[in-house]
Structure 1
């Protein structure tokens, strides 16, 4: 396998004004994740870990199998994209985490870090 450096995870967040209720301290964010497999082996996304830090400093950790109910196989040169959401009690926050993958034969598992990305509602500093 070429290595973990050949697996790239990109995140694009978006504020969901239609689902948010600022007067009730409910701020909904949609985020689209793209996992690109630049290695020479098929990989499988087994698990996720997220740390969500709100503007207040409160942190929430989320762990689970796969993403959006799937544990996708991603062939060499292919990408997997999905959209999910996070609900915060403040208009700003940061998400970061890691995905656990296995190679096609499940001979080894490895983690790929997901760089921090900012969640910011309207009129917030980006």
Structure 2
């Protein structure tokens, strides 16, 4: 598990290889990722946006950004956590993701970025 804390917000990431899938005559490697966001600070925060850079071993980079995560903009009080899962399709069998969440402190209305640490996307053959 990969973890990182920014301004009292702890991000934990696990990944899973889910096999291959043919889509539009292209073979893709399918990966799932599971993220837990834990508020270890003393203030209430709201996740408003996300920004991802997704890399594969074929030197392709995909940028994904937008409001919230999986259709949600969770509010986390002190000691709350929020877990969600999502996934991505790569044309190569290895890759990586990194990014950040934009959050707002609901006590001070300060907007800040929470780093999502770089994590690897590896097939079973490579991770063993």
The Cα shift of 1:105 comes to 4.3
The Cα shift of 1:78 comes to 1.0
Report the structure, 1 or 2, having the larger strand content. Answer: 2
The Cα shift of 1:106 comes to 6.4
Deviation digits for residues 83-107 of structure 1 (CA, Å, limit 9, x no counterpart): 0011111110000000000011462
Deviation digits for residues 1-26 of structure 1 (CA, Å, limit 9, x no counterpart): xx943111111010012xx2379431
Runs (4+) of structure 1 exceeding 3 A deviation are none
CA distance in 1, matches of 2:61, 2:106: 34
Q: Which runs of 5+ in 1 are unaligned?
A: none
Cα distance change of structure 1 residues 30 and 46 upon mapping to structure 2, 3 Å threshold: same
Cα distance change of structure 1 residues 6 and 118 upon mapping to structure 2, 3 Å threshold: same
**2:31–2:88 CA contact under 8 A, matched in 1:** yes
Task: State the aligned residue count.
Answer: 122
TM-score by length of 2: 0.88
**Aligned match of 2:61:** 59
Q: Which runs of 5+ in 2 are unaligned?
A: none
The Cα shift of 1:62 comes to 0.4
TM-score by length of 1: 0.89
**Aligned match of 1:121:** 123
CA distance in 2, matches of 1:107, 1:42: 10
CA distance in 1, matches of 2:50, 2:15: 17
**1:4–1:110 CA contact under 8 A, matched in 2:** no
CA RMSD of aligned residues (A): 1.9
Cα distance change of structure 1 residues 41 and 100 upon mapping to structure 2, 3 Å threshold: same
**Aligned match of 1:41:** 43
Cα distance change of structure 1 residues 125 and 4 upon mapping to structure 2, 3 Å threshold: closer
